[in-house]
Structure 1
């Protein structure tokens, strides 16, 4: 399967459990078992006086031990598989909740409050999924989760955020959209390779018409960094993206949120530097 990682590893834990069970079973036989069993074993190993009855007794006892081990291993594997299935279903349910949260993005009357609310919900769900997914050991189940996650990311998350009405966002912030749209220059260099939509958002959000209004609301955007990390950071998404040739770039996937997050981080650093400079002068 495209989304499935091949694994030739065997479970050392399962082998250890089987060995412990066999040891305990033999110990019980040795202390409370029938002397016939040990007499048969000694007779067989010495090859003296052994007969068909000795072989049958020894094999019967070993078969009993083997049946017990097989029964316990089957029970253990059944419980393990049941847990894996529960983790799979919970993972799929969590991804469905992500899609439900994305459906709450208001594209008709878009505003920063709504965007921040959805990002917080998605970040919390991403934390839940990370914990659940980390306990899934069955590679086939992991492949299924990857398919659902990639579908959510490319067919729901990206589309939902790109459908945000920026005109409405600025209008609700108190800025006339035409003023931001007409901006053509910016006092900082835009990183190369970033698409025009991200460039436009960053330029507009840092304009003299928008920046003063955003400065009053830094605390409202403090969770955007967590959202960007959860859904675009390579360390967080590399396993989810196995089997896909796509690269997750926030500036391309969620350009408005990426621009807002990058501005918030850069301005926060400037604020700390300013405070440090003031303290030094004092």
Structure 2
């Protein structure tokens, strides 16, 4: 894991030492057991007779060797499960922090660029932590639960918050635009977004795009370059390819124009929406 520093004071892995010990012990027990069973320890003398007790002892030696192997396998399994549980717990903690940040986002008529910048930066940092934890997990029921909890955070909290950001409210607070000009731009944008050839899921995007690119608005104000951590946020939360593993089990796909219209027209870089190397 990216944040997990290697233990430089332990040059020899304990797993390697344990494996060597298991191999040595297993080889010794199995060899001794086989020797007893086949009479090798008696020097192949024709007069030597293998008693029933000798046979039992030989089998017992082999069983003991197998017990060592099973004990080591169980030890490894327990270590993996313990690590998995610790990572899962911390991943859930990151999701709870995400939901807390999302709950503090100002949307609707209260939409504010300063609050949006702060929220996106915090969410980007949390996503970096979460992604590293998620990648470090083995695929099992715990990872499936964490995936389900991420989907809950995304579709029940984040998606709604991003969709409720009001570009008009931001323009009123950030730009010195005449009220009559703004009303005209809003009216024209609404008209174009409600055209019959526009799919319902894209209406908010078309409205936001037409509003911010209205000639009288664009010459006065532009969101391009004004949203902090835009590319990082888009890469973590709105890149369908990067979210493929987290969306496993769903038919839903992510389109930035649907889930975050304002961010879609704010000029995210191509790499933020493209496939990661």
Counterpart in the other structure of 2:214: 207
How far apart are residue 227 of structure 1 and its match?
1.6
Counterpart in the other structure of 2:274: none
Q: TM-score, normalised by structure 1?
A: 0.72
5+ residue gaps in structure 1?
1-15, 267-282
Residue 110 of structure 1 aligns to a residue whose secondary structure is coil
Residue 188 of structure 2 aligns to a residue whose secondary structure is coil
How far apart are residue 213 of structure 1 and its match?
4.8
Residue 260 of structure 1 aligns to a residue whose secondary structure is coil
> What is the alpha-carbon distance in structure 2 between the residues aligned to residue 202 and residue 36 of structure 1?
80
Match of 1:43 among 36, 39, 43: 39
> What is the alpha-carbon distance in structure 1 between the residues aligned to residue 161 and residue 230 of structure 2?
16
> What is the alpha-carbon distance in structure 2 between the residues aligned to residue 21 and residue 255 of structure 1?
60
> What is the alpha-carbon distance in structure 1 between the residues aligned to residue 228 and residue 165 of structure 2?
20
1:246-278: per-residue Cα shift (whole Å, max 9, x none)?
A: 12111111111212235xx59xxxxxxxxxxxx
Counterpart in the other structure of 2:7: none
1:35-92: per-residue Cα shift (whole Å, max 9, x none)?
A: 9757515517979632212212212222222222222222221111011111111222
Structure 1 or 2: more helix by fraction: 1
Residue 137 of structure 1 aligns to a residue whose secondary structure is coil
1:78 aligns with 2:74: no
Structure 1 residues 138-217: aligned runs within 5 Å: 138-174=139-175, 175=177, 176=179, 177-184=182-189, 195-215=202-222
Counterparts in 2 of 1:123 and 1:160: CA distance versus 1, 3 Å: same
Structure 1 residues 60-139: aligned runs within 5 Å: 60-107=60-107, 108-139=109-140
Residues 221 and 261, structure 1, Cα contact 8 Å, conserved in 2: no
How far apart are residue 24 of structure 1 and its match?
1.9
Counterparts in 2 of 1:230 and 1:260: CA distance versus 1, 3 Å: same
How far apart are residue 195 of structure 1 and its match?
1.1
Match of 1:224 among 214, 222, 230: 230
> What is the alpha-carbon distance in structure 2 between the residues aligned to residue 261 and residue 239 of structure 1?
26
1:233 aligns with 2:239: yes
Q: TM-score, normalised by structure 2?
A: 0.73
Residue 237 of structure 1 aligns to a residue whose secondary structure is coil
> What is the alpha-carbon distance in structure 2 between the residues aligned to residue 227 and residue 255 of structure 1?
14
Residue 134 of structure 1 aligns to a residue whose secondary structure is helix
> What is the alpha-carbon distance in structure 2 between the residues aligned to residue 44 and residue 98 of structure 1?
68
Counterparts in 2 of 1:246 and 1:58: CA distance versus 1, 3 Å: same
* Count of aligned residue pairs for this structure pair: 240
Residues 149 and 240, structure 1, Cα contact 8 Å, conserved in 2: yes
Residues 179 and 209, structure 1, Cα contact 8 Å, conserved in 2: no
5+ residue gaps in structure 2?
1-15, 271-277
Structure 1 residues 241-252: aligned runs within 5 Å: 241-252=247-258
Residues 29 and 64, structure 2, Cα contact 8 Å, conserved in 1: no
How far apart are residue 142 of structure 1 and its match?
2.1
**CA RMSD after TM alignment:** 3.3
